[in-house]
Chains A and B, each alone.
Chain A
Amino acid sequence: MAEYLHYYILFQNHTDATAMYRTLKSSGIYAQISPTPRELSVCCGVSLLIHGEDVEHIKEIAADKKLNYLSIDGLNNTFDNTRHKYG
């Protein structure tokens, strides 16, 4: 069972994020393009939301295909469509 509600792959730039996203999608692995949560980075930018159970597999794919990423981090954040806070 995953330790966190959500897991994110963080990147140095969007080029690396796009390469990882395309690879994961073509491998049939769930990935969702996401803004990087504030709790994980102080800078706006693209991250990939992934399933906790795929983390180890994704690390293997990244190593195998030499895909760049900064880290894979877990976070207990929620997506609440009734919060009605818009920024």
Chain B
Amino acid sequence: MADNQKMWADLGMNLEMHDMLCAVLPGAIGDVFMSQENRPEAMDYFDMVLADVHGLRPAELVEFRKNGGKVFGTFCAYVPDEVIVAAGAIATGLCAGSQFWVPGGERYLPANTCPLIKAMLGARFDKTCPFYRLADVYIGETTCDGKKKAYEILGTDVPMHIMDLPQMKREKDYLKWADEIKDLKDLVEKETGTVVTEEKLAAAIKLINAKRGALERLYALRRNANVPISGTDTLLISQIAYYDDPARFTAMVNKLCDELEKRIADGVNLAEGKKRILITGTPMAIPNWKLHNLVETSGGIVVCEETCTGTRYFENQVDESGATLDEMIQNIANRYMSINCACFTPNTARADDVIRLAKESKADGVIDVNLMFCQTYDIEGRSLEERCKAEGIPFLGIETDYTDNDAQQLKTRIGAFIELLG
């Protein structure tokens, strides 16, 4: 793929350093994905995206920008793609899920910062991720103190727009979030030179609702007694959701779901002899497949993720009945405020979600996985454990990072947990 090298050079990337990432990823993908047996055929699209993760989609973004298009980089499930899409722009996730980027971030941040935030800065300042080079403006959000301060540092190198996410869910907070979305609309209109009309926003709402609907369909199929797809494969799809073209992604997920329905009917069951696990906690950005790989090689199968790379990303739709821009924006705000992140207080609805999803997914146990130094999720772990125990749902809490150092220790703990599930 000689084309990639030229593109990365043109993007000002550090080719020598990026080459080190290219050296390890194929091996990891082979171990985590290609070692799996009886995968759905329609995973081939997602395998293609992953195999050339820094080539295929970046090349599309390059072409888009050549024609005057603007790309907005996002970090969080709270940022509404609808507004960006309505302005004819592209929203792309800026993932930060690899240990490869962490040392670069530690040059700017204290070591006791969560690895996701450190990886964000490492990817930008080391110039080793094409997506970070291609986003014209980064859209940050105030979902944690670490991110807020990291965005200040990113802002020294790239245009940043911060959305001030409320931390409570009172009526005035829903109104405030709608105001923040209006500010985002103003920004994308200014950057793109395109006015967001009622028609464009209504179409964007439908587009992103369809994407969420496809993911909802995928997750519903995993609740079946016959589990037709591994949790690791589903995690990959959720990760790709953040940066793929929404219409194409929706079509590919629905194509996969058609096959999964047939697999279920044919009696394919990847959960045979395994324990069904629900994972909750912090996001798992690409290429963070650590916990899923550990669980699914220790006698478990992941049947649901209550995370930002799981149900938080797609549950609840934007009400499509809005007629005016103000109504549509409030409807968008209402949907995104329904996400239950640990940055909110109180956040008991997240525990309600976990219990509901565990029951719907017929989970044998819940594993709460939090990235090191993520204080809000870490603190919620205790109350979440109490709620699960009160419901009779076995619970395991894990704190980890992107390194491989604790993999064997975690494997022992996860294996013991799964064994105790009977």
A18 CA to B71 CA in the complex, in Å? 26
Q: Is the CB of B1 within 8 A of A12?
A: yes
Once the chains bind, are A38 and B26 in contact (CB under 8 Å)? Answer: yes
A41 touching B1 by the CB < 8 A rule? yes
Contact for A84 among B2, B19, B50, B408, CB less than 8 A:
B408
Instruction: Decide if B289 touches A86 in the complex (CB within 8 Å).
Output: yes
- Which of chain B's residues have a CB closer than 8 A to the CB of A12? 1-3
Summed over the interface, the residue pairs from A and B with CB atoms below 8 Å come to a total of 124
Q: Is the CB of A44 within 8 A of B55?
A: yes
* B301 vs chain A, min Cβ distance (A): 13
Query: Is A79 touching B52 in the complex (CB atoms < 8 A)?
Result: no
Partner of B55, one of A14, A21, A85: A14
Q: Given the complex of chains A and B, what is the CA–CA distance between A12 and B5 in angstroms?
A: 12
In the complex, whether A13 has a CB less than 8 A from a CB of chain B is yes
Number of interface residues of A (CB under 8 A): 33
Which of B51, B56, B288 is the most central at the interface, judged by chain A CB atoms within 10 Å of its CB?
Answer: B51
- With a 10 A CB-CB cut-off, give which of A42, A44, A79 has the most chain B CB atoms: A44
Among B28-36, B75-83, B356-364, B368-376, which stretch is in contact with chain A?
Answer: B28-36
Contact status of A87 and B24, CB under 8 A, knowing A77-B30, A79-B31: yes
Contacting pair B293 A36 (CB below 8 A): no
What residues of A have a CB within 8 angstroms of the CB of B48 in the complex?
A: 14, 17-18, 33, 46
B160 within 8 A of A: no
Partner among B23, B51, B55, B297 whose Cβ is within 8 Å of the Cβ of A33: B51
> By the criterion CB–CB under 8 Å, are A35 and B36 in contact?
no
Say yes or no: is B421 at the interface (Cβ < 8 Å to chain A). no
Mask for A28-69, Cβ within 8 A of B = 1, else 0?
000011111110011111110100000000000000000000
A12-B2, A33-B51 known; A79-B411 Cβ under 8 A: no
Determine the main DSSP class of A at the interface with B: loop
A81 B1 Cβ-Cβ under 8 A: no
CA distance A34 to B297 in the complex (A): 21
The listed residue with most A CB atoms (<10 A of its CB), out of B26, B34, B54, B288, is B26
B1's nearest neighbour on chain A, judged by CB, is A45
Asked if B27 is at the interface (CB within 8 A of a chain A CB), the reply is yes
Q: Choose among A11, A14, A44 the residue that contacts B25 (Cβ–Cβ < 8 A).
A: A44
Q: Nearest B residue to A12 by beta-carbon distance? A: B2
B interface, size bucket: 35 or more
- Selected contact of B1 from candidates A11, A21, A49, A78, CB within 8 Å: A11
Find out whether the CB atom of B47 lies under 8 angstroms from the CB atom of A33.
yes
In the complex, residue of chain A having the shortest beta-carbon distance to the beta carbon of B411:
A84
Chain A residues, Cβ within 8 Å of B47: 32-34
Are the CB atoms of B1 and A46 closer together than 8 Å?
Answer: yes
Task: Give the residues in chain B near A44, CB-CB below 8 Å.
Answer: 1, 4, 22, 25-26, 52-55
Q: How far is the CB of B128 from chain A (nearest CB, A)?
A: 12
CB-CB under 8 A for A35 and B24, given A11-B1, A14-B48: no
- Residue of A with least CB distance to B294: A84
Cβ of A3 within 8 Å of any chain B Cβ, yes or no, is no
Contact present for A86 and B51 (CB under 8 Å)? no
Q: Is the CB of A32 within 8 A of B34?
A: yes
> Which residue of chain B has its CB nearest to the CB of A10?
B1
Q: Which chain B residue lies CB-closest to A79?
A: B35
Chain A neighbourhood of B297, CB < 8 A: 81-82
Contact B99 A87 (CB under 8 A): yes
Residues of A within 8 A of B56 (CB): 14, 46
Q: Does B44 contact A (CB under 8 A)?
A: yes
B287 sits at the interface (CB 8 A): yes
Q: Does B325 contact A (CB under 8 A)?
A: no
Report which of B22, B52, B287 forms a contact with A86, defined as CB distance below 8 A.
B287
B82 to chain A, nearest CB (A): 29
Q: Are B27 and A85 touching (Cβ within 8 A)?
A: yes
Among the interface residues A35, A38, A43, A85, which one has the most CB atoms of the partner chain B within 10 A?
A35
**Interface residue from B4, B26, B35, B287 paired with A81 (Cβ < 8 Å):** B35
Q: Pick from A17, A37, A43: contact of B5, CB below 8 A.
A: A43
- Whether a CB of chain A sits under 8 angstroms from the CB of B268 is no
Chain B residue nearest in CB terms to A37? B26
Choose one: A17, A43, A47, A85; the contact of B2 (CB below 8 Å). Answer: A43
A87 CA to B28 CA in the complex, in Å?
A: 6
Nearest chain B CB to A64 CB, angstrom units: 23
Instruction: Give the residue of A42, A45, A77, A79 whose beta carbon is less than 8 angstroms from that of B51.
Output: A45
What are some 6 contacts across the A-B interface (CB < 8 A)? A12-B2, A13-B1, A34-B51, A47-B51, A79-B34, A81-B293
Top 5 closest pairs, chain A to chain B, by CB: A45-B1, A84-B407, A79-B35, A35-B26, A81-B35
